[in-house]
Structure 1
Amino acid sequence: MASIHCSRGLTGPTSSLRLAPRITPIITWAAPFSTTPAVDSKVPNAKKPLQVIGRHIRRGKIAQNSKKKREIVRIKKPEPGQRKAFRKRIQLSNSNAAAVTGLPVLEAETMASKENLCRMVGLPDKLVDQLRALEAFKPTQFWGLFRKPHMLVRTETVSLMERLNEAATQKQTLRTVLTGGKNSGKSLMLLQAMSHALLNKWVVINIPEAQDLVNANTEYSPVPNTSPMQFFQPTYCLSLLQMILKANGEVLKAYKLSKNYSDLQLIHLPEDGTLYDLAAAAKEAEFAWPVVQALWHELTAVPGRPPVLLTVDGLSHLMKQSAYRDPSFNIVHAHDLTLVRLLVDALAGHTPFANGGAVVAGTSRSNAPRSASMELALAQVAARNAGLEDVPAADPYRRDYDPRVYEAVCNVDVLEVNGISKLEARAVMEYWVASGVLQTTVNEATVTEKWSIGGHGLLGEMERAALENIRL
């Protein structure tokens, strides 16, 4: 009974308790989170919502510009070799620069005279053409800022030219390697040696970049019946002969051949031809290397010929393994290339020059591989020349020494090319001011400033500090 009364009490009309109303959940659909504001269709120029297509987000309709014609800008591609020609272009004159008057013009004995020390000398037009044919000028040099090419006669210049004159007079062979810091003027020293030799009626043979002989960018062929196998480079030899003809044509025409070269089967070679005819008879690349050998024999082994100057820039490239491969795919040493072997034999003294001459090679600090054997040999030669008792010795822990390389350069002379003196720097800066490319007053303060900024007289660094903004 109690339960019945309780039930009535709870549900009766007089009860104060009421049941809570039934809660019905209201389902609301929320839009996905986005940082893009909603687009009102009534607002003009409103942005359309983004549409997700795969992993890409695109605004507006799909393929809305598929039928729109797009303007295709066609650019003419450079011709083969055009980029390289632009990168290696040589500009030797500037009509906007002021003409500098009163400077001496280079002659046969100008750079060998001590009276011309610390003076700028001009290059005659004919000599400029010969040096251009020999590729003696470098793209990194500042020739294009001045009206005409001029050079500074420095202390090392006079010393090298005196050695060249002595070698020609005594019928000896000068073998010198130019060393020094980066941008110290080693390539310019080679150019001065070539200028002196050309003005004195020498035959000049130049290898402008030694790396072109060993980087596998030119064709090569094996020499039959050679052990170890040797390789010659016909295309490079042909271009070398053409370079020799352009630079030394007048000198070669004055000398007759010493013997008959009918075994070379050169149809363009007359019986009583000259050295010029011999060099010009190689019309095809396959005849180039035999003609180089014959011309080299005529110049070095036959008496009564002019002296020979052989110059090489970037010597360390010739003192390592090359990028060529033999038929067994083994790496070919640079000295197993016949043209490199000819150069190395001349530098080592294995090839006597019957009429005198010189082999001048320059090292490089900007683009050169490390050669432990060459560096050791040159350091020992420099120590002996300086009279030092402690001569550098080979590192017993190194395994990369090459006896062939050490033998090639262990008996050469070393000429250190370093910074110029302040007096020479003053002469150079006065020439810059007279040409109008340097707007300053040349006094002791400005000379000391440029000389110090240029690494204590490094000629290339001084040019950078003073003329680089004008060159750009």
Structure 2
Amino acid sequence: MYSLLRRPRPQRIAAGSGLVETPNLGQVRFARQPKGGAPVPQKLASSFKKKGGDQGAVFIKKDKKLGAFKPLSVNQFEKIELLKDETRAELQLPLFKPEVLTKELSLGKVLEFPAPENDPMRKFGLPKNLLLEYRILSKPCAAVRDVTLNAVAKLDQASQSSSAQNRVVLTGATGSGKSVALLQAVEYCMSNDWIVLYIPRAATIVNSSTPHTYDARTRTYLQPKYSFQLLQRFLSVNESKLQNLKTSREHVLERSTLPAGSPIIDLLSVGLNDQASAPSVLSTLLSELASQESHPVLLAIDEIQALYCRTTMYRNPRFEAIKPYHLSLPRLLLEYTSGKRSFKRGAVFGALSGSTHVFRLTVELGNELAKVSEKTTDPYVRQVPELVEYAKGLQNLPVPQLSLNEAASIFEIWAKDRALYSSANDELFMAKYTEAQGNARDFVWKGLLSTLSI
């Protein structure tokens, strides 16, 4: 073991060999000296590639980072000589408001999402595909589709009923627009005086990206860091609606006791001041929101199939995979998605996602959503009883492919935002729409943006 860790000794160099000793962080490497020139002490690493022949070889570092699309502002366009006469115009779009979400006023049209200080897109984040797309567009926007109006109708109904009867999962082909429809539901609730808890990447809850500790009292594994971050984001989005809410009973927390009638803000402060108590504060917060009737509550979860995985990427002390319902946060969310816990006024909305290849749709969730495929209908596949119980009662809201009018609206927006590689015309639109076969993501990324150079 000592021989593997000790610093290697410098090697002797024969006179006139043309090699020069070059140190490199504990290793001794050599770069060839070109004829008739000074030695080239060049640092070598595994990320360097060789260019040219043996004589005068030069090592060039590979760029492994992919470029990220970011739109240029109007001021930056004016500074570029080539683009001075073609200044990018700002998009002028109607706002995404509850009063305009009707079939007569907005179906098939593209609306701009408002951007207040407590915007859930800014605080909670976005799925990766949407984040990249909104970096290209100058303004975040989305087309109003039939599934958008159906989701709004379900939310209007849920605002006066229990969330146990309003547990919906958006399903459809990969890239059909499920995440956009869920984001539209979140923005609608934010504009309609709802309390919103939005989780755009549920896979991060079960992929072992944050620490976990075992709690002997609840016999589950707590996730204090993720719970702490979720409390921070929740407060920054819903602070104005939480001002008048008070606790309905006394709560004994990890290191403090909160009497009945205390402001909800004080309950959040306990978790924000002590990260170790954040998991219990989050559970207590949701139970208080479930009992109040001043505001309806929306629990929105993208990549919801990750919560129904057979095993997570977390490990116990024996290095055995931990089940999702043995982790505190996934178990808490599963209790609300299954209806075991419910809000007096509100809804639970989820969306399947094909962007994560680690956590795919499981048999238990697929059978409940009546998704027809070989994997979900195979009678020889063993089902986990706990996951079957957590999936009971979920409603399926399918997201279809883009219609011709919806695709035309999206094409018009990208053309106005000067994101196309050629002039916009009917032939280009029909070609890209046919190639994508109505798939929303393929229409934009593999169609309209396919020939843009990074």
Shorter chain as denominator, the TM-score bin is 0.7 to 0.9
SS at match of 2:314: strand
Q: 1:372 aligns with which of 348, 363, 385?
A: 363
SS at match of 1:359: strand
Q: Deviation of residue 292 (structure 1)? A: 0.6
TM-score with structure 2 setting the length? 0.76
**Contact 1:314 1:363 (C-alpha < 8 Å) held by counterparts:** yes
> Quick one: distance in 1 between partners of 2:191 and 2:288?
21
Match of 2:406 in 1: 424
| Structure 1 unpaired stretches of 5+ | 1-57, 78-85, 384-390
Q: 1:342 aligns with which of 321, 332, 354?
A: 332
Q: Deviation of residue 293 (structure 1)? A: 1.6
**Contact 1:346 1:359 (C-alpha < 8 Å) held by counterparts:** yes
SS at match of 1:325: coil
Cα deviation per residue 1:406-436 (whole Å; 9 max; x = unaligned)?
2222321111113110011111111122222
Cα deviation per residue 1:25-80 (whole Å; 9 max; x = unaligned)?
xxxxxxxxxxxxxxxxxxxxxxxxxxxxxxxxx999346646986445699x9xxx
**How many matched pairs?**
389
User: Is the counterpart of residue 323 in structure 1 residue 323 in structure 2?
Assistant: no
Cα distance 1:65–1:321, how it changes in 2: closer, same or farther (>3 A)?
closer
User: Is the counterpart of residue 179 in structure 1 residue 161 in structure 2?
Assistant: no
User: Is the counterpart of residue 222 in structure 1 residue 214 in structure 2?
Assistant: yes
**Contact 1:421 1:457 (C-alpha < 8 Å) held by counterparts:** yes
- 1:246-261 mapped onto 2 (5 Å cutoff): 246-261=236-251
For 2:176, give the aligned amino acid. S
> Quick one: distance in 2 between partners of 1:71 and 1:309?
61
User: Is the counterpart of residue 133 in structure 1 residue 88 in structure 2?
Assistant: no
Cα-Cα RMSD: 3.3
- 1:66-85 mapped onto 2 (5 Å cutoff): 70-72=40-42
Q: Deviation of residue 233 (structure 1)? A: 0.7
Q: 1:61 aligns with which of 6, 16, 24?
A: 16
Cα deviation per residue 1:201-237 (whole Å; 9 max; x = unaligned)?
21111222222121222111222244xx311111110
Q: Deviation of residue 255 (structure 1)? A: 1.7
State percent identity of aligned pairs: 26
User: Is the counterpart of residue 205 in structure 1 residue 197 in structure 2?
Assistant: yes
> Quick one: distance in 2 between partners of 1:299 and 1:471?
48
**Contact 2:20 2:41 (C-alpha < 8 Å) held by counterparts:** no
TM-score with structure 1 setting the length? 0.74
Moved more, 215-224 or 165-174: 165-174
Q: 1:190 aligns with which of 164, 182, 187?
A: 182
**Contact 2:176 2:439 (C-alpha < 8 Å) held by counterparts:** yes
**Contact 2:98 2:192 (C-alpha < 8 Å) held by counterparts:** yes
Moved more, 291-300 or 108-117: 108-117
> Quick one: distance in 1 between partners of 2:69 and 2:277?
31
Cα distance 1:199–1:92, how it changes in 2: closer, same or farther (>3 A)?
farther
- 1:45-444 mapped onto 2 (5 Å cutoff): 61-62=16-17, 65=20, 70-72=40-42, 94-95=73-74, 97-101=88-92, 103-111=93-101, 114-126=104-116, 129-136=119-126, 138-139=128-129, 141-173=132-164, 174-226=166-218, 229-261=219-251, 263-266=253-256, 273-282=262-271, 283-300=273-290, 302-319=291-308, 320-354=310-344, 356-368=345-357, 369-370=359-360, 371-379=362-370, 394-399=377-382, 401-438=383-420, 439-443=422-426
| Structure 2 unpaired stretches of 5+ | 1-12, 23-37, 48-64, 78-87
> Quick one: distance in 2 between partners of 1:168 and 1:235?
32
**Contact 2:169 2:349 (C-alpha < 8 Å) held by counterparts:** yes
Cα distance 1:290–1:93, how it changes in 2: closer, same or farther (>3 A)?
farther
> Quick one: distance in 2 between partners of 1:181 and 1:250?
38
Cα distance 1:146–1:410, how it changes in 2: closer, same or farther (>3 A)?
same
**Contact 1:180 1:416 (C-alpha < 8 Å) held by counterparts:** yes
> Quick one: distance in 2 between partners of 1:62 and 1:172?
78
SS at match of 2:353: coil
> Quick one: distance in 1 between partners of 2:14 and 2:101?
75
SS at match of 2:370: helix
**Contact 1:94 1:144 (C-alpha < 8 Å) held by counterparts:** no
> Quick one: distance in 2 between partners of 1:88 and 1:207?
26
> Quick one: distance in 1 between partners of 2:270 and 2:70?
32
**Contact 1:94 1:145 (C-alpha < 8 Å) held by counterparts:** no
> Quick one: distance in 2 between partners of 1:220 and 1:88?
33
Q: Deviation of residue 139 (structure 1)? A: 4.7
**Contact 2:301 2:349 (C-alpha < 8 Å) held by counterparts:** yes
> Quick one: distance in 2 between partners of 1:276 and 1:317?
31
For 2:334, give the aligned amino acid. V
